[in-house]
Amino acid sequence: MGHVENRLSPEFRDATAPPLRPHGWRANASVLAFRLLVPIIGAFARRGRLEVTYRGIVETRFGDGTGPNHRMILRSLHTCLRVLRSPELGCGESWMDGEWSLPEGDLATLLGVFLKNEKAMMQSPAGRLILGAVRLATRAPVNDPVRSRGNAAHHYDLGNDLYSAFLDAGMNYSCAFFANPGQSLRDAQLNKLRITIDRLGVPEGGNVLDIGCGWGELSRLITRETAARRVTGITLADRQLELARALAGPDIGRRLDYQLADYRRYAVDHTDTCDRIVSVGMFEHVGTRHLVDYFASIHRMLRNDGRALVHSIMRPDRCETSPWIEKYIFPGGYIPTLDETMNAARKADLKLAHEPFIHDSFHYAETLRLWRRNFLAAWPNLNRRRYDERFRRMWEFYLAGAEASFTEGGNFVTQILLKKV
């Protein structure tokens, strides 16, 4: 997915452009149709403050008046139909296509309001019935090694220029741990890395494996700041591997190795070889069908006195992956609950070496807010042939929606330290 074709709606204009006015009977009919849809929309939009202007003439207010105001310019009635048919997919795709804009209010805050309304609806008897039907109709993807490689390439091989534009200098693409709200993103990421290494407790002369090593700063830091004998990082993304290898300095090159490998296949050839295993931000890609497989692979690779630290986003309640996220951002991904995670670990004969370390939602919400700010600031300088306007809107929606999942959706980050039974 290195290039996303620009397929903006013909009616798309900048949010500051004059509002569209109806022309002719068809436009007037669409305004009437929108008025008829208002009660249906209102039934789902009970929280927050949202003003919607349609075709420059219909202004409607939704919500209970709480929180900051959001003013949406709706440019196509098709948006309503898309959202009613598939709320998350329709909302995201219509934003990507420029069918609505937000001249007042923050996108992440607005998506948080949508999450509040969704949560309230799902707590009703009708909502629980709908949720049950969705779960029955949803088939969890099979993330075998071949498909997992393709899923990783879809997201992580977009281009190192993209990720370097919004991540910190160490290219850390996971939650930072902020010592205080004003700490810089770079310092907060280093704080996270050093806390992780301290919890991992690397023994002198130990053999360490980093599953899903990304661009490799954690592996490099373990090599430089501990007495590990050997550190190996594995990834499924070619461009990550290239840069990780390039960044490994000559002073640590003989103790540090990066490989393109699936954790399951790597485990077959490395039974009982690891003193420590660390995995940061990779568990969300395993998929609901493979949670036990993941922990079984860790169990296989750990020595009897070995330990593994798994860092992952967790949901408060079981929920299927957003169809928009599945289609455009993280195919095959699944964010588990803490209970699901611990049950899978126990089935693989792993047990807690320490109570789970749970980090407040603020940390990832702030990380995502800073990533979105950096991305929007850097976007004018990115290659337009690879990252066009539709891509910009897609990526902004992804980062804003992820932020909302922490501010309003209840997501949090957990580090789990495990050992063999």
What domains can be seen in the chain, in order of their start residue?
Answer: 24-137 (3.30.1050), 145-420 (3.40.50.150)
Question: Cα–Cα distance between 233 and 226 in angstroms, integer?
Answer: 15
- DSSP-derived 3-state class of residue 68: coil
Using CA atoms, how far apart are residues 166 and 374, in angstroms rounded to an integer? 5
How many Å apart are CA 418 and CA 412, to the nearest integer? 19
With tokens 């003193």, the residue in question is 275
Alpha helices in 157-237 (DSSP H): 160-166, 185-200, 217-225
Look at residue 390 in the predicted model and tell me its pLDDT. Answer: 96
What is the phi/psi pair of residue 55, to 5°? Answer: 55, 30
DSSP-assigned letter for residue 337: B
Across the chain, which has 421 residues, the per-10-residue mean pLDDT values are 38 43 54 70 77 80 86 86 85 94 94 82 50 49 78 90 97 97 96 98 98 97 96 96 91 87 97 98 95 98 97 94 93 95 98 97 98 97 93 97 96 97 75
What tokens were used for 177?
A: 């741990």
Any residues with CB less than 8 A from the CB of 346 and at least 6 apart, and which?
A: none
- To the question of pTM greater than 0.85 for the whole model, the response is yes
Return the pLDDT at 123. Answer: 55
CB 190, CB 170: distance < 8 Å: yes
256 DSSP assignment: E
Give how far the C-alpha of residue 3 lies from the chain's centroid of Cα atoms, to the nearest Å.
Answer: 20
